[in-house]
Structures are given as C-alpha cells and as structure tokens.
Structure 1
C-alpha cells in the first residue's frame, strides 16, 4: 500500500471523526463561559474605551443638556407661580433637588449600567452553580466515541459517510456561527450603550424627554436579560442535544453507515435546534420584560 493511500485513508478517518464531533457537540464549555463573562472580562480594552468615551465625550454633552433642562424648568416655574413667591420657592427647591439627582445619575451613568450588567453576571453564575453543564458535555463527542468503528469502516464507506454527514455538518457550523455572532453583538451593544449613557440619563430631567431616558435604561436591561436567558437556554439545549442521538445505540458488528442514516434525523435536529434556541431565547427575554 502506497504512502498516498495510507495518508488518504487517515485523512478520511479524521474528517469523519471531526464531522461527527462537530454535529453532536453543539455549544461547548468555552462558548458558555464566553456568554457568562462580564464586559470587562470579555474585552478589557473595549470596556475601558467605553468608560473613557462616556467621561470625555458623552458627559460634557450631558452637562450642556442638563443646563438647558434646568433653564427650561426655571422658566416653567416662573410661569406657573404667577407672582406667588411661596409657591415659586417651593417649586424651585423641588426642581433643584430633582436636578441634583439627575446630575449625579448622569455623572455616574456608566457605573450604573455596569451595576445592572453585574446583576446579569451574578444570575448566570448562580445558574451555573444550580445547573452544572459539565455532565451534559461528557455525553457529546460522537466521532471520538466511534473512532475505532470509523477506522474499520474502510475508505469507500468513510467517503460515503462524509457525503451523508456534510449537510448536517454545514448546519452545525452555521448554528455555531449564529450563536457566536449573537454573543459578540451582546457585548458590542453593552459597550455602545455604556459609552453614550450620560446623555440619555440627562434627558430624564425634562418631562418631554424623560421617556427617552427610560427607554434607554430599558434597552440596556433587555440586553442583560437576553444574555441570561440565552445562557439558560443553551444549558437546556445541551441536555436535549444529548438525547437526540444516543451513541450507545450502536453495537459492535452493526453497519456504521446504517446507524448514521437511521440517526440522521437526530444529528440534524441537534443543529437546527441550536438555531431555534437562539431565536426562542430572544422572544422569552422580551416576555420577561413585558414586551
């Protein structure tokens, strides 16, 4: 047997093993760990940049907005008081207290959002403690568990397995990309919302713009809740993915190709289910927020 034939057979064997592992793996511990990271732990440089932008760019703009808001409030008080000094004094005092609170909020807006984000990080930590993910991950790795049987299948059978597994493998790769993109977008949203946080917080001081600031805080809270729900959904998914294909159903002497064909629906289901879980988690997060 030539070296080329031996190399080709080994390559086919490794590709079959890797494809089965990828199809059955779904989301590994590294991905779950990435979701559970805080914004600072995920990318310290971007987190620091968001804080710098909030302090050096957004905060001065917020100060100007607050100045205009306070002037408008004073003008409104003058019209409402209509010469009544006692009423005017009481309204001015209330307005100044409210303005002082808004100023503090705007000055520390980025810190307030970081505190909201840390609540989500704490919840994911508690979920990880309550529902360990390691036991689900040990049942995966179909290709590794069937490596010896794949090696004995022969070059022609292995080539046929590659053709059969290719669609399921492509769907599994697409599912992994979808999850990765969603995770990265989550952190990008947090960095962007943190960088501009002082401006919408300053808008809380004016009656006509107050809803803008409330919606901003609600949007940031939605991102945090979506992360928690996505993490919990993926933990549940890993348990279901293990049940979709049972490698113990293969017995020595069985046709490996026939086993793959008979379990093909489960192999494909694991990948399709992963994409569906991401979509469902976003819908569930909106329900949690009352949207």
Structure 2
C-alpha cells in the first residue's frame, strides 16, 4: 500500500515539476519571439509614424522656438561671410561682381535649408526606413522560434530525469525566465531610447542647418548630417543584431542538455542587449559622427 502511495506522490511531483518547467520554458521562448518581432516593428518606423503626437510637439517647438535662433545664426554667418569676402580681396580694392552673386546663392541656400529642415531630416529617416523594410523581408522569416517543437524536445528530455533533477531544472528555468523578462525591459529601454534620442536630435536641427553654407562653420552642419544618417541606419544594425540572435538561439537543442541550453539562452540574450547598446556608437563610427 505504501508503495502505491509513494508512487502516486512521485507521479504527482513529477507532473507538477514537469508542468512548471514546460510553462517556464514556453513563456521564455514566447517572450523571445515577441521581443524580436517588437524590435523589428519598432525600428522600422519613422519618427512621424512612431508617435505622431510627440512628433507634432517636437516640430512645433522646433519651428516656433529654434528656427528664430537659427535665423539669428544665419544673419551672423552671412555678415561674417560678407566681411571675409570683401576684406580678403585687398580690402575692397579688387571687387568682383561674381563674388556678390556667389554670396546671394549661399544666403539663399542657408535660408532654404532652415525653412525645410524637417522635410530634409525626415527624408534621411525615410531612406533608413526603406533599408530596414528591405532587410526585414529577409530577416523576419527566421526570427520566430518553434515553441511546439521545443516543447516536444523538453518532454522527451524530462521523461528520463529523476525528481531531484527536475527540482533543480524548475529552479533554473524560473531564474532564466525571470532574467529574460529583465532583459526584455532593457531591450525596450534601448529601442525607445533611440526614438527619444531622434526626437531630441531633430528638435535642434535648424541651428546646425544654418551653418552649412559657411566654409568655417560648415563642419557643425556636416557633422550633424552625419549624426542623422547614423541614427537612421542604426535601425538596420539593430535588425542585424536580432537576426544574429535568432540564428544563435535557434541552434539551441533542448534534447541534448537542458542545463546548457538554459545557459545558452541566457547568454545569447545578454549578447543581444550588449549588441543593441553598441549599435549607436558603431553607427556613429561608421558615418564619422562625433
């Protein structure tokens, strides 16, 4: 009789622990699928599509507050340009009418750039979005992990384990699943932080645009333009990180060793977070922005 009782208790504990492990593992890999798809969806949006209300606020602030300051900067730059142009020709002794035509062209270019700042900046992000959308057709098909297949592998592996091993495995899966949730929060902060950086970066766009027509001050606008391209193409680098992560995590085999598989999942998730954090500095390095 006692043998039947112990057998029933062992069966109940095995079913309980097996259910806990399967639930933790399924939730873990479901979070992976959701997070990779969320990254692909978030980085594929332009600033005006990500949050239209925030974009409208930034645009209004830029046009009503920053553009007047850019107008003052344009005035200073053009005055400096005129004085330099006249004094460098033997203090007005060698005046050429072509100089004034070139001066008025520079003035028109400066005013045009400031007047169309948001159109130009959004065109840069449209180019970046086009690249991301082209890449997503290749990447998105491989990011999802087949949870049902992994569930079958887990059941086959746990069928040969003792109660003690199942207890340890249940604790491991709980800890790794908890760490995955923390990593998912970190990833969300990175993705959302990039968009906030874009809004902050574009809010002051008229000021560096006002300097681009001048030879001495033009490096400010040129470096700003490089930074725009770096932010736009950072989304492509983030998509590549997601694709590499999906390829690595899809190679995890539960049936061979569940403990090493759990460590591999946690390690790959940490690598993904680290890689996403490095995309910003890497993109700026590629485009020569500082």
Q: Which bin holds the TM-score, normalised by the shorter protein?
A: 0.7 to 0.9
Q: Decide which moves more: 225-234 or 24-33.
A: 24-33
Aligned residues: 272
Work out whether 1:98 is the aligned partner of 2:106.
yes
**Corresponding residue of 2:267:** 269
Structure 1 counterpart SS, 2:143: helix
| 8 Å contact kept, 1:136–1:238 | yes
- Superposed CA deviations along residues 165-223 of structure 1, whole A, max 9, x for unmatched, are 24423432333223211211111111112211111100223333221111111112111
Q: Does 1:137 align with 2:135?
A: no
Q: 1:124 aligns with which of 132, 140, 147?
A: 132
TM-score (norm 2): 0.79
Of 192, 198, 201 in structure 2, the residue corresponding to residue 190 of structure 1 is: 198
Match of 2:240 in 1: 232
Q: Do the aligned residues in 2 keep the contact of 1:18 with 1:143 (CA within 8 Å)?
A: no
Cross-structure match for 2:182: 174
Moved over 4 A (4+): 8-15, 140-159
Query: Is 2:53 the counterpart of 1:45?
Result: yes
1:289 counterpart residue number: 287
Q: What are the ranges of 5 or more consecutive residues in structure 2 without an aligned counterpart?
A: 1-12
Match of 1:56 among 56, 60, 64: 64
TM-score when normalising by structure 1: 0.79
Which of 154, 169, 194 is equivalent to 1:161?
169
Closer, same or farther: CA 267–66 of 1 in aligned 2, 3 Å: closer
* Alignment partner of 1:211 out of 219, 222, 231: 219
| Counterparts in 2 of 1:227 and 1:136: CA distance versus 1, 3 Å | closer
What is the Cα deviation at residue 105 of structure 1?
Answer: 0.7
In the alignment, does 2:19 pair up with 1:21? no
Per-residue CA deviation, residues 39-97 of structure 1 (Å, 9 max, x unaligned), is 1221111111122122111111111111122222222233233334642x222211110
CA contact (8 A) 2:208 2:220 kept: yes
